[in-house]
Structure 1
């Protein structure tokens, strides 16, 4: 196990070096287990002590404090993709929590496996995708997740939680609602579409992606074509890490699209985008829910692309208004000041409270 604190002459890296937003000070201690067994051992040790702890993986959805962290940061870097036995026409993959998510998508596409090609280019680790129920361009992890292996914080035992146990909804799961545990691996169910990346992928289910591909909704295109088109769309929005693109120095989308009662949506101007919420995500009783566009709300509250508060090194992305970016040397405080300002403008103009998507460390 790698304990940076105990390595002679080794300096503990600042959290800014481990997060895509590039903010955050130096933690008191950092440990980075390299195997699944070591990860479980390290987490069990931390949870059995009185020591303050935090878990960090890919750092793509994290805002870390300028003062660092007064305790131990458990850096999840375990890697590995394993094929499991599965029914004919289906492939089961067991993926270690620290495996970069886009590497998993690349592996799937290269091997002719359909189901996650539209989730290309999303930064971060595989263990984080069930926490957020990551989704993009018409696909969600919820549709391919079989189970998660979780170290339960109370029992300190590893449990297998089926996808149905995780209460997966739009950008949410039980991990967002009080359940404490560390995902150590996930099991995915993909379709064996063919032998390689030229195999047809899942039906294209998102209008913007269909338009970029020049096909109708529901059409099937080669896996490699879908992946490259998604990557191009994400690059156009600064949503793929690129050392030459300042707009990509972000935590991804900073606000989730609000889900509100239909009556609230009706109060917005007619050109405000809105989408029906899936039937299984609707409440059993009460008003029907509608999803709104956070980007539209931000732009129509007077916040333009590239907007920054006077003197601040944090700015709204120049490519789309959902990302807050570090333009060079920004602090976490500057990022949060900008986020708070945007929330206030949207609340004042539309009486809707935007909810941040990143985790705050």
Structure 2
């Protein structure tokens, strides 16, 4: 690899080694053509969007990187509801620019997802969500170019099997997101009567408190966006050249989801929320604890999973009963890792504003980020018997 172009130039963590071959697609036709040319060679390849949810190793990538830089927003007829509107967005558009555009046009549905870095095409990969909204609630379909195909196909939201921070796209379906189609609420009628565009009911306590309203109240979408941006900035979660804490991949770990019985083993102060049974990796079946410590039970359960070819979601859900989402940030803090923590001599550190973010404090290597992530995982596992799962896509590194 030549080393002239490095992933560090294209990722928000500013780490990552050399790119052997970089191709940039600025139109949908370019994207299809460049992908076809790449796949015809049978060489390794990787699609790159905004680079905000990506951790690439210091050795880089010995293959072709297709950078998706397509642009365009198309307004389509709604589903028949006079207050709905659909938009089809090219995958290379900035996600936050899209949110700003919807707010400006009075379209409600993704305003609480303001400030999330990255591209539109990456949004369905992990079903982005924040402050009580999730992409799954507005996503209608995507156009997806399967590896080896010469034209994209339409995939509905149901086909994507969207769950908490995951989808079939993240679980191994090879290809490239070309466009994303959303259905939003057109507030035009309300604006005529009220003079302002009200968003969907506020569903997240922290956001409601910031807005000084009750959960369930409706607030002008412009105010929701403004408040969300302020909240995210206070946590270093809005890209800002002047804020060292924003040199990160955002939340590095997902909030673990466990069986109700496991949640009861945590201190009473541990934040927790009941969720629908989606059987994520962190689920520990009810009754598996017995007289064992949480850590021993967890390791035993992981061994069972590894010995089995597959574990169906339905079986996991029935075994666990109610599932409970925990706060990864709380688990990290209570395991003794505070804001600003760094391993001795390392240029990677926990954000000084939020323990879920791992930051590059200046010329850190990918290996330093990985070492810190492993240390966090080990501390939480030792203290609570729960393994935190990384949210970014990992290339050339393992945790």
Q: Which TM-score band applies after superposition, normalised by the shorter structure?
A: over 0.9
Q: 1:280: Cα distance to partner?
A: 7.0
CA distance in 2, matches of 1:94, 1:12: 35
Partner of 2:56 in structure 1?
A: 64
Please say if residues 36 and 148 of structure 2, whose CA atoms lie closer than 8 Å, have aligned partners that are also in contact: no
Partner of 1:278 in structure 2?
A: 276
Q: TM-score, normalised by structure 1?
A: 0.94
CA distance in 2, matches of 1:58, 1:192: 28
- Cα deviation digits, residues 313-335 of structure 1 (max 9, x gap): 00000001000000011000000
Map 1:186-201 onto structure 2 (within 5 A): 186-194=180-188, 198-201=196-199
Q: 1:40: Cα distance to partner?
A: 1.1
Partner of 2:166 in structure 1?
A: 172
CA distance in 1, matches of 2:77, 2:271: 43
Q: 1:83: Cα distance to partner?
A: 0.5
- Cα deviation digits, residues 115-138 of structure 1 (max 9, x gap): 000000000000010011000000
Please say if residues 69 and 92 of structure 2, whose CA atoms lie closer than 8 Å, have aligned partners that are also in contact: yes
CA distance in 2, matches of 1:131, 1:25: 23
SS of 1:296 mapped into structure 2: helix
CA distance in 2, matches of 1:345, 1:267: 17
Q: How much is the aligned-residue C-alpha RMSD, in angstroms?
A: 1.7
CA distance in 2, matches of 1:198, 1:62: 38
Partner of 1:120 in structure 2?
A: 114
- Cα deviation digits, residues 172-215 of structure 1 (max 9, x gap): 10012221121100100000013599311111110000000000
CA distance in 2, matches of 1:59, 1:222: 31
Matched, 1:132 2:132: no
Partner of 2:251 in structure 1?
A: 253
Map 1:77-226 onto structure 2 (within 5 A): 77-86=69-78, 87=80, 88-153=82-147, 155-194=149-188, 198-226=196-224
CA distance in 2, matches of 1:125, 1:158: 18
Q: TM-score, normalised by structure 2?
A: 0.85
CA distance in 1, matches of 2:187, 2:55: 38
CA distance in 1, matches of 2:277, 2:165: 16
Q: 1:266: Cα distance to partner?
A: 1.0
CA distance in 2, matches of 1:215, 1:29: 51
The alignment covers a number of residue pairs equal to: 352
Q: Unpaired runs of 5+ in structure 1?
A: 6-10
Query: Which of 264, 270, 273 lines up with 2:262 in the alignment?
Result: 264
Please say if residues 277 and 323 of structure 2, whose CA atoms lie closer than 8 Å, have aligned partners that are also in contact: no
CA distance in 2, matches of 1:234, 1:342: 22
Matched, 1:289 2:283: no
Partner of 1:327 in structure 2?
A: 361
Query: Which of 224, 227, 238 lines up with 1:240 in the alignment?
Result: 238
Matched, 1:313 2:347: yes
